[in-house]
Structure 1
Amino acid sequence: MRPVRFVALGDSLTEGVGDPAGDGWRGWAALLAGGLSENRVEFTNLAVSGAQTRDVLERQTPAGLELGPDVVSVVIGVNDTLRCTFDIHAVAARLDKVYAAFTRQGAVLLTACLPDPGAMLGLPGALARPLARRQRAVNAVVHALSDRYGAVHLHASEGLWLTDRAMWSADRLHPGERGHRQLALRFHALLADAGFATGTTPSPEPEFAAPTRSASLWWLATAGTAWVARRCTDLLPQLLRLAADEMRHRARGTSARLDLRTSAAVSAALAALSVAEQPDAA
């Protein structure tokens, strides 16, 4: 019998950052792979730390399509929100192309909405709110497109697991082993309900001891700080402007306008995709 082929696309979350294994990372996708089938599973992880939707479309998708997956996960978007080039129209168009390519090939598509990085990092409100607004926009697009393409969608942006410190690694942006296991467990439950997962349910219990506090602080002060700096360097000047705009609107009592502006941008981005689907579109 041919093995089940599972291909994972995305960024550091899917790469497995926060769940160390030997000299590298394991992560939720690898944990999920073991429970997809009672028979052999061929798992390929194409996710790369720092990837944005452009990277998934232009680099990871062609490689993934060549593998002919039965199941493909596309979990991406946080790094787009951390760039000064953030454009919800571009994010929507890229995700639409990626989802369409794999579903046309007959793969079962896995997607997820994600928590906003500002809240996870504990940023001050004026800095966190613009990032939260961006992440909500990405999540709204992912929700809509997941429904359009019949994806198995995980609501990872909500739930008590987000506030459980034991689920998260030292950097507060990536799950620790326990958190990665929760993601694998929840995806497996959705797949099993849909009849796509027949293997053993991933265990929620960690296999390895959690890093000591001193080890976590050392990682955060070295590699972790460098990771955040690389992701946010070009965003900071714009984020400060967004924060100033946020404070002006709050002082005037017009913060709702910022939310309405974001909602309108999401609606326009999705409407543009619908127009593009028309057979007589230019």
Structure 2
Amino acid sequence: MKALRFAALGDSLTEGVGDPVGGGWRGWAALLAEGLAPTEVPVEFRNFATSGAQTSDVLLRQLPCALAFTPDVASVVAGINDTLRAAFDIHAVAAHLDTVYGAFAERGTVLLTACLPDPGALLGLPGVLARPLARRQRAVNSVVHALSERHGAVHLHAADAAWAADPALWSVDRLHPGERGHREFAARFHAVLAAAGETLGPAPPVEPERPAPTRAAGLWWLATAGTGWVARRCADLLPGLLALAAEEARHGMRGTGARLDLRASAGVAAALASVPGLEVPLRACDHVTGVAQAASGTSQPCEVCP
């Protein structure tokens, strides 16, 4: 019997960071693979995701390998690392994701995408630091929504979902799910696939196999293995983030913070308008300072989000 092939692309979330098994990472994609097909159908799973990957890495490094694997199902979950870089460019994010999504769609591959919570909220950063990151993540999510609709992706909405905000789902670093969180992501992806009419096997169990690490163990990991991650991100992001925070504070003092939201909305609208053949809807998600506000000055119910 022909096996079903599943390729996972993205960053550390898809790589499985936070869900250690056998000296490596497992993660939501591996858990989902176990329930992607009826029990009599074998599943071949390849995880091409790498920690720290930006959308450019997904396009240039992961996509060619994934296409050579000729998957029946492919997941593409990326964009948070783009928001954590000083040189964040929403136009580039839109172009990269459109190319990646389109490459799978034109081959008839079932495409899985997701929008994600903003990292500033997960980290509990002060407002002047959290708001610029939130604005960037909203921009990425707006692009993901529009392009998922364009390419007929099966989309998991996790940007502001109550379940995604549960602290019990996240590891001590506050950016990666723990085992419970990865299982929740796998079960949620399974549910949206089932709702889309895909033939699946049993849903992945949501209860962890192992007890959650103690707070002391988590802090030890963060102080050892986690320090490299923090150092790399700070070296690249901190100067730009401090500049964003200073601009946020200036506008806050003047009462003109809405201008930053409108600027971000205009950037999203321009980025989507630059994607060849994409008709930008004049609507905006309630959770996104949206394309519609930049285009028409109004906020209306979203056409693509649940």
Partner secondary structure for residue 275 of structure 2: helix
Question: AA paired with 1:199?
Answer: G
Match status 1:35 vs 2:64? no
Partner secondary structure for residue 263 of structure 1: helix
Give the aligned partner of residue 13 of structure 2: 13
Identity of aligned residues (%): 71
Task: Tell me, in whole angstroms, the C-alpha distance in 2 between the residues paired with 1:8 and 1:115.
Answer: 20
Q: How big is each residue's C-alpha offset from its partner over 1:77-111, in whole Å with a ceiling of 9 and x where there is no partner?
A: 00001111110000000000000111111100000
Task: Tell me, in whole angstroms, the C-alpha distance in 1 between the residues paired with 2:19 and 2:105.
Answer: 29
1:83–1:232 Cα contact (<8 Å) kept:
no
Partner secondary structure for residue 154 of structure 1: strand
Partner secondary structure for residue 273 of structure 1: coil
2:6–2:72 Cα contact (<8 Å) kept:
yes
Match of residue 98, structure 1, among 84, 91, 100: 100
Partner secondary structure for residue 201 of structure 1: coil
Task: Tell me, in whole angstroms, the C-alpha distance in 1 between the residues paired with 2:262 and 2:207.
Answer: 42
| Shift in Å, 1:195 | 2.0
| Shift in Å, 1:221 | 1.0
1:7–1:71 Cα contact (<8 Å) kept:
yes
Q: How big is each residue's C-alpha offset from its partner over 1:11-45, in whole Å with a ceiling of 9 and x where there is no partner?
A: 00000000110100100000000000011100000
Partner secondary structure for residue 235 of structure 1: helix
Structure 1 gap ranges (5+): 278-282
Match status 1:218 vs 2:243? no
Q: How big is each residue's C-alpha offset from its partner over 1:246-274, in whole Å with a ceiling of 9 and x where there is no partner?
A: 01101111100100000110011111113
| Shift in Å, 1:276 | 8.2
Aligned residues: 277
Question: AA paired with 1:167?
Answer: L
| Shift in Å, 1:231 | 2.2
Structure of higher RCO (CA pairs closer than 8 Å, 6+ residues apart):
1
Question: AA paired with 1:152?
Answer: V
1:35–1:197 Cα contact (<8 Å) kept:
no
Partner secondary structure for residue 148 of structure 2: helix
Partner secondary structure for residue 18 of structure 2: coil
Give the aligned partner of residue 171 of structure 2: 169
Partner secondary structure for residue 233 of structure 1: helix
Give the aligned partner of residue 2 of structure 2: 2
| Shift in Å, 1:162 | 3.1
Match status 1:143 vs 2:153? no
Greater percentage in helix? 1
Give the aligned partner of residue 23 of structure 2: 23
TM norm structure 1: 0.96
Question: AA paired with 1:36?
Answer: L
Partner secondary structure for residue 211 of structure 1: coil
Question: AA paired with 1:230?
Answer: R
Question: AA paired with 1:175?
Answer: P
Match status 1:205 vs 2:239? no
Q: How big is each residue's C-alpha offset from its partner over 1:123-143, in whole Å with a ceiling of 9 and x where there is no partner?
A: 110011101100000000000
Task: Tell me, in whole angstroms, the C-alpha distance in 2 between the residues paired with 1:247 and 1:197.
Answer: 51
Match of residue 247, structure 1, among 243, 246, 249: 249
Task: Tell me, in whole angstroms, the C-alpha distance in 2 between the residues paired with 1:246 and 1:84.
Answer: 16
1:54–1:94 Cα contact (<8 Å) kept:
yes
Question: AA paired with 1:34?
Answer: E
Task: Tell me, in whole angstroms, the C-alpha distance in 2 between the residues paired with 1:84 and 1:158.
Answer: 24
Q: How big is each residue's C-alpha offset from its partner over 1:221-262, in whole Å with a ceiling of 9 and x where there is no partner?
A: 111232122123111111111101001101111100100000
TM norm structure 2: 0.88
2:11–2:78 Cα contact (<8 Å) kept:
yes
1:115–1:156 Cα contact (<8 Å) kept:
yes
2:55–2:78 Cα contact (<8 Å) kept:
yes
Q: How big is each residue's C-alpha offset from its partner over 1:155-180, in whole Å with a ceiling of 9 and x where there is no partner?
A: 11122223322111010000000010
Distance change (3 Å), C-alpha of 1:29 and 1:197: farther
Structure 2 gap ranges (5+): 280-306
